[in-house]
Structure 1
Amino acid sequence: MKVMKYVFMTLATLLIASPVFAQTGADASSKGLFYIAAGIGMALAAGLCGLAQGKATASAAEAVARNPGARPAIFTFLILGLAFIESLALFTFVIIFLKVA
């Protein structure tokens, strides 16, 4: 019951605030929201890539602890995986940079 109260309060807030987004404003205000959205998007991409890198590193450390003989193969795939994960954040940065500039 308590969850439903929060759901309805959130819906009411969104429905009351929706006419604000329907208004047309000056270019400066719409660009300001665009910059904020770009910053939030980059923050999400960087944060989630950081979480993925932490998970990959923890898994690699656990794998080396279980089988130290497989260290070279695990290290190779770890570096490859970290490069792919980091490229996602860089692709997000490039896309945001191209759209904002």
Structure 2
Amino acid sequence: MFKRILFSVALVAMAMPAFAADGAATDMTKGIIALAAGITIATAVAFGALGQSRGLSAALEGIARNPAASGKLVTPMIIGLALIESLVIYALVIAFMIVGKM
């Protein structure tokens, strides 16, 4: 009888690290999810800002070369900037969705 109890206690003691490892994997998964959300939004913001600055630079250069064309350049420039900014907002929504899975 003592051997069975000893065997049962040993079996439970050996199973405890396995349950502890499961909790550690969950914590690491949450960290990776948070890192993925951060990288998503950082990449979108960086390249969105780069796209906006290049678009604005090209539009202002065109206006500087031909001031009469400013009326024709302003509207497409604003639409382009709004579309670029919408991509950054979509990345923010995706980052929130990724974090929501935590």
- TM-score (normalizing by structure 1): 0.73
Per the TM alignment, residue 98 of structure 1 is displaced from its structure 2 partner at its CA by: 1.6
Structure 2: gaps of 5 or more residues: 1-21
Alignment check: 8 A CA contact 2:48 2:88 kept: yes
1: CA distance between counterparts of 2:41 and 2:87?
11
For 1:62, give the aligned amino acid. E
Q: Decide which structure has the larger Cα Rg and report it.
A: 2
Higher-RCO chain (CA-CA 8 Å, sequence separation at least 6): 2
Structure 1: gaps of 5 or more residues: 1-23
Per the TM alignment, residue 29 of structure 1 is displaced from its structure 2 partner at its CA by: 1.2
For 1:27, give the aligned amino acid. T
Q: Counterparts of 1:32-71 in structure 2 under 5 Å?
A: 32-71=31-70
User: 1:58-96, CA deviations, whole angstroms, 9 ceiling, x for partnerless residues?
Assistant: 000100011111111101011000000000000011111
Structure 1 consecutive aligned stretches of length 4 or more whose deviation exceeds 6 Å: none
2: CA distance between counterparts of 1:38 and 1:98?
9
- TM-score (normalizing by structure 2): 0.72
Give the root-mean-square deviation of aligned CA atoms.
1.2
2: CA distance between counterparts of 1:91 and 1:41?
10
Per the TM alignment, residue 41 of structure 1 is displaced from its structure 2 partner at its CA by: 1.4
1: CA distance between counterparts of 2:51 and 2:74?
16
For 1:59, give the aligned amino acid. A
For 2:79, give the aligned amino acid. L
Deviates more, 1:90-99 or 1:74-83: 90-99
